[in-house]
Structure 1
């Protein structure tokens, strides 16, 4: 009877299953075997091949030196192999993994628990969240894991991490959920909001599953916090609620993850801010700037307002705010709890895509210009959001340096304000100035608020 009780505890999908701590030594001895037997087939190994271009001849494009150094430093592609894990989320072969495992891959091979192999392609990837959605080719009737709402996960719950650490084969480790709403602590590409676990996670576990005792997916393992390179029991997983939004956007045909645009800058409320704002305890985010077409401004928010919750979930950092808006998705509304003075109220804010207003007029300079490949655009919310630029930025922005622009010192995000003494107000002004045949070019730019002058000879 005791064995039956634990099996009911561990097997997913049983209506009478009850989450509880094992009550006897015999229950503990039985362990997680039934749970792993059900969940492991949905966790896969991923082998990705990345071909990177070799370094080009630095004298290519130089009309004088290219003939003297023809064949020097011949570019040869470099092949890199990446190893990681993934989780099957549907019977037709939708898989989630980490972007740093498959995001730049030219060839992806997926090996199931029973050693069946499939080729796969990336449907949607996002470096900032470190998530990628894959589709297996010609797959059907595959085992998959059910997604659990990660907002219902509590600290102290038992959790299992399943993956392929160090390439030794599928491995399972156990632990508990150690913390929630971890932001700004994970390493690698991922930024934002994480579930923390002490279930050992090692290299190769990236993209693997973090599951609860009912076999449901609560997170995708992404990184560890370590000084030695080994697992110290501080691992981070991307919550399943964000994974669900990624899958939804991938199924609608998106190839890039689209986040709602706030058009707002905020900062965490510390003790000093809480005192000046009249708050009893430090909590939430204080609004420090609003774009003129921000949906928050349209909903009545002002600089100095404090945001404490999004859809009844607390937010205390900008990363948490971005996460909460991301899981709400484009096209809906989020209920924002606002504190203004002594007044607390809930305000509905539209979740919109960053507007391309005024039109960005993104333009790449042609081969017959001074800096071929340099790409410029008018600063607007869409450009600012795409390249992670400051909210208040205006003017003409360098969004791609191009091979020659990078040599003379142009960086992505530079604001071009003048060329050879002529003011720059629109992308076409840059094209006009750099089409003229001159021997010397002087570019005046703003970089992180500082004025910089670049001078170079043609």
Structure 2
């Protein structure tokens, strides 16, 4: 009875290196008693602890300019920089010391120290970082012949597979937890500053596991652990990992010298197809994204797609949400062509779409307003596809965007991403228009601003 229970728990075991790994039922009581030990011995040396330091500015007191409080507290009321420490995990992906971790572990860090399982320590430098994907690629200084994990095609992962999560939860030291793949294509969860696309697992993941490895029974990396759903802060069996296929693209771009991750640009607006829409669009079941808008420079428009078409697959993989579609395009990579399947008037068709970055045409003509302006220090740019993608503006957006409001612009309520439409009755279409309008000497200033779906009118005295 005990043998049967153990056999069902450890249905597979690793008995070879990744290049020649096989999945099979344990053949003896000895193999069963080992559990995951051979797998852990093989994979654990490639999972590292990451210690990061960053300097943050403490918020200043609202009483810092009050002479009554200043006479007692002096400069203590002003914000002072302080050192903030963070702890996380990472995974070595190559013999020359390329490491993947989460952005929230090393983002804006001034010092990064990586500690291996054998207690060796290395300083590390950030090669590429992206807050939206919550991924960062590091290089270990002076590293060679490093233990490392191989990436598995994460599209081949299936629900129910046994997995191990390796990391450093709560700073207690390297820990291994086991579970299964609970779900795929999880795209309704936010990471960084955007909606992500994840593998879900019930392998316990806790604070400190961030950036650690989610591996299969052959010791291959299928994902990077990034977050959990929890009310208590501890694991409730709902953890998420960033798929290895996206990690592969990050490594490729980092080795190419990119400091920031460049995503392919679709230039389309879309809506999820639900059950109510499916029948009217000629679909036999809900799924895909119906194209509601296309930018004139969109590569999808160039490939022949039109409003009302339903995009169903990218490179043969189904897409049902914008996050899924962006993930699939990112995995294909810039400079490539993706096979796009779509439905038009009930008829299925395919086309090839170029994976390109959002174009910087027309030129941004970025302008920083000088001291003679009513709002000095504000940075403005003309809107183009790259600006639209950067700030998540509507595809139809045009005119001038606020990139940095500056001290005076921030004081009157302007934010990065605001679109200036009118200043003192003058329509704004270029940065030159805005610069001229804001240089006029007057006692009051009126601005029409579009922020997301809202239209604001700001009026204030100068």
TM-score, normalization by structure 1 = 0.93
SS across alignment from 2:237: coil
Matched with 1:94 is 98
Distance 1:252 1:229 in 2: 38
Partner SS, residue 40 of structure 2: helix
Indicate the residue corresponding to 1:151 in structure 2: 155
Match of 2:129 among 120, 125, 128: 125
Please tell me whether residue 279 in structure 1 is matched to residue 244 in structure 2: no
CA contact (8 A) 1:11 1:35 kept: no
Question: Matched residues in 1 for 2:305 and 2:364: separation?
Answer: 27
Structure 1 residues 237-276: Cα deviation after superposition (integer angstroms, max 9, x where no partner): 0000000000000001100100000000111110011021
Mapping 1:46-445, distance limit 5 Å? 46-55=50-59, 71=75, 73-186=77-190, 189=193, 191-445=195-449
Task: Give the Cα–Cα distance (whole angstroms) in 2 for the partners of residues 414 and 227 of structure 1.
Answer: 34
CA spacing shift, 1:199–1:279, aligned 2, 3 Å: same
Contact 1:10–1:215 (8 Å) recurs in 2: no
Instruction: State the Cα distance separating 1:344 from its structure 2 match.
Output: 1.1
Give the secondary-structure state (helix, strand or coil) at the position aligned to 2:147. Answer: coil
Query: Aligned partners of 1:70 and 1:370: how far apart in 2?
Result: 32
Structure 1 gap segments, 5+ residues each: none
CA shift for structure 1 position 125: 0.5
SS at match of 1:19: coil
Q: Tell me whether 1:11 sits opposite 2:16 in the alignment.
A: yes
Aligned to 2:446, what secondary structure does the other structure show? strand
Secondary structure at the aligned position of 1:101 is classed as helix
SS at match of 1:327: helix
Query: 1:11-30: CA deviations, max 9, x gaps?
Result: 32353x32134466553321
Structure 1 CA distance for aligned equivalents of residues 429 and 208 of structure 2: 49
1-side partners of 2:75 and 2:205: how far apart?
46
- CA distance in 1: counterparts of 2:445 and 2:64, whole angstroms: 21
Using the alignment, how far apart are the partners of 1:431 and 1:200 within structure 2? 55
> How far 1:404 moved relative to its partner?
1.7
Once residues 259 and 112 of structure 1 are traced to their aligned partners in structure 2, the CA distance between those partners, rounded to angstroms, is 32
Superposition TM-score, scaled by structure 2 size: 0.92
Give the 3 Å change call, closer, same or farther, for CA 303–6 of structure 1 in structure 2. closer
User: Cα 1:80–1:304, aligned 2, differ >3 Å: closer, same or farther?
Assistant: same
Counterpart Cα distance in 2 of 1:306 and 1:392? 21
Aligned with 2:460: secondary structure? Answer: strand
RMSD: 2.4
Tell me the CA shift for residue 154 of structure 1: 1.0
Once residues 95 and 422 of structure 1 are traced to their aligned partners in structure 2, the CA distance between those partners, rounded to angstroms, is 52
Instruction: Quote the offset at 1:50 in angstroms.
Output: 1.2
Contact 2:12 2:24 in 1 (8 A): no
CA contact (8 A) 2:313 2:341 kept: yes
Structure 1 CA distance, aligned partners of 2:183 and 2:28? 27
- In structure 2, the residue corresponding to 1:79 is in which secondary structure? strand
Is the Cα contact below 8 Å between 1:186 and 1:236 reproduced in 2? no
Shift of 1:185: 2.5
Q: How far apart are the structure 2 equivalents of 1:385 and 1:348?
A: 22
Q: Counterpart of 2:253 in 1: which secondary structure? A: helix
Q: Which residue, 33, 41, 64 being the options, matches 1:29?
A: 33
Q: 1:176 and 1:8, CA in 2 relative to 1: closer, same or farther beyond 3 A?
A: closer
Tell me if the contact between 2:337 and 2:355 (Cα under 8 Å) persists in the aligned partners. Answer: yes
* Alignment coverage as a number of residue pairs: 448
Cα deviation, residue 79, structure 1: 1.7
> Structure 2: how far apart are the matches of 1:33 and 1:305?
51
Give the conservation status (yes or no) of the 8 Å contact 2:170–2:206.
yes
Distance 1:23 1:224 in 2: 36
Tell whether the 8 Å contact from 1:288 to 1:303 is kept in structure 2 after alignment. yes
CA 1:422 to 1:70, structure 2 compared with 1: closer, same or farther past 3 Å? farther
Give the whole-Å Cα distance in 1 for the aligned partners of 2:434 and 2:236.
52
The 10-residue stretch of structure 1 (404-413 or 214-223) with the greater mean CA deviation from structure 2 = 404-413
How far residue 71 of structure 1 moved from its aligned partner, in angstroms, is 5.0
Tell me the SS of whatever aligns to 2:18: coil
